């Protein structure tokens, strides 16, 4: 491959700084939002001296996202400033941790959607009633199983970087700022296997449960509209809001699964443009989903507003 042109040398530095700024902003928002979820649920656990299934899932989800977004930020900074090489032990540990926490985030979000679907949806099927009755007993086992699957899947990334391209490498160093793109040997079978094993099961679960929950809420909303509740009653408005939130969660989840697959398989690493788009897009879902969880939960929303007011007062006192 030809050496990078002067156009690349002129534009790579500001592009790298822009990408790092966007990623750092997204990760900071996500870490703060996940931190609020962690603190609120941990305090509730201590006060009640018991932990509910929802609290347990939210704690695992928020902690995994704090670790994930921290790794994304560290990896992005390292790739730009060339702190570590492709074959280093630090890179391998970071990559395995990145994949593990991503898979955990996918699974925990899917299980949270599954739990809410079973608790909220209303279907007159004997199997569904039995599941609703036993869901609290099944969830701890499903959480441990999801951690095991995530860990097992991430181990495949310990020694390899799967992709669908041939061996090439591209590196450009400008003023000690380095953007390195590595592409390893193709193995489409392994890419398909890793997608099926690590991403496809939670993706299928989330799509199925979210779609069925939207269908159940919409059917119940239409029933209340035709009854005495009216189209402007608080219950109808609450159902409408739940449908909007679930639809937004579904859209972000599908987008995130696609971006994660492209990122872990390194399909787009040969293109500077698409590699940059993936780097910017990857933190959107963890941050966006955590913020939406806060907005949809009264207790978390109250804590978020208190934090915003404290920050505003602190800024006013300084200036």
Question: How much is the pLDDT for 181?
Answer: 41
Single pTM value for the model:
0.80
Question: How much is the pLDDT for 75?
Answer: 80
- Ramachandran sector of residue 161 (left: φ over 0; alpha: ψ -120 to 50; beta: rest): beta
Pairing type for strands 168-174 and 177-183 reads antiparallel
Question: How much is the pLDDT for 231?
Answer: 55
Question: How much is the pLDDT for 207?
Answer: 93
Give the tens place of pLDDT for each residue, 155-170.
Answer: 877 765 554 444 444 4
Question: How much is the pLDDT for 40?
Answer: 86
Give the tens place of pLDDT for each residue, 36-56.
Answer: 899 888 887 888 777 888 889
Q: Can you give the residue ranges of every domain in the chain?
A: 6-318
- How many other CB atoms sit within 10 Å of the CB of residue 128? 15
Query: Please, which residues bridge with residue 279 across strands?
Result: none
- Domain 6-318 fold is Rhopdopsin 7-helix transmembrane proteins (1.20.1070)
Question: Which residues of the chain register pLDDT less than 50?
Answer: 1-10, 84, 163-186
Question: How much is the pLDDT for 88?
Answer: 66
Q: For residues 237 and 221, what is the distance between their CA atoms, to the nearest angstrom?
A: 9
């Amino acid at each position: 491959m030809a050496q990078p042109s002067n156009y690349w040398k002129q534009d790579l530095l500001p592009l790298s700084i822009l990408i790092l700024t966007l990623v750092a902003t997204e990760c900071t928002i996500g870490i703060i939002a996940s931190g609020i979820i962690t603190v609120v649920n941990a305090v509730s656990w201590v006060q009640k001296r018991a932990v509910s299934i929802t609290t347990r899932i939210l704690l695992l989800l928020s902690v995994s996202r704090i670790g994930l977004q921290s790794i994304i930020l560290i990896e992005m900074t390292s790739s730009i400033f060339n702190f570590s090489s492709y074959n280093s032990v630090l890179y391998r540990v970071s990559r395995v941790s990145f994949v593990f926490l991503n898979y955990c985030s996918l699974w925990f979000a899917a299980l949270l959607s599954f739990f809410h679907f079973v608790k909220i949806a209303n279907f007159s099927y004997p199997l569904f009633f039995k599941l609703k009755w036993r869901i609290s007993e099944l969830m701890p086992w499903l959480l441990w199983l999801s951690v095991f699957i995530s860990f097992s899947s991430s181990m495949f990334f310990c020694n390899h970087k799967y992709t669908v391209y041939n061996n090439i490498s591209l590196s450009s160093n400008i003023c000690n700022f380095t953007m390195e793109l590595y592409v390893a040997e193709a193995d489409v079978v392994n890419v398909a296997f890793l997608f099926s094993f690590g991403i496809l099961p939670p993706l299928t679960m989330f799509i199925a449960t979210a779609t069925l929950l939207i269908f159940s809420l919409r059917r119940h909303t239409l029933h209340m509209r035709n009854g005495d509740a009216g189209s402007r009653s608080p219950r109808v408005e609450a159902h409408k809001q739940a449908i909007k939130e679930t639809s937004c969660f579904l859209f972000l989840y599908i987008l995130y699964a696609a971006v994660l697959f492209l990122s872990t398989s390194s399909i787009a690493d040969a293109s500077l443009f698409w590699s940059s788009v993936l780097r910017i897009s990857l933190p959107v879902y963890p941050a966006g989903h955590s913020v939406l969880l806060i907005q949809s939960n009264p207790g978390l929303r109250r804590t978020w507003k208190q934090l915003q007011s404290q920050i505003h007062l602190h800024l006013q006192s300084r200036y």
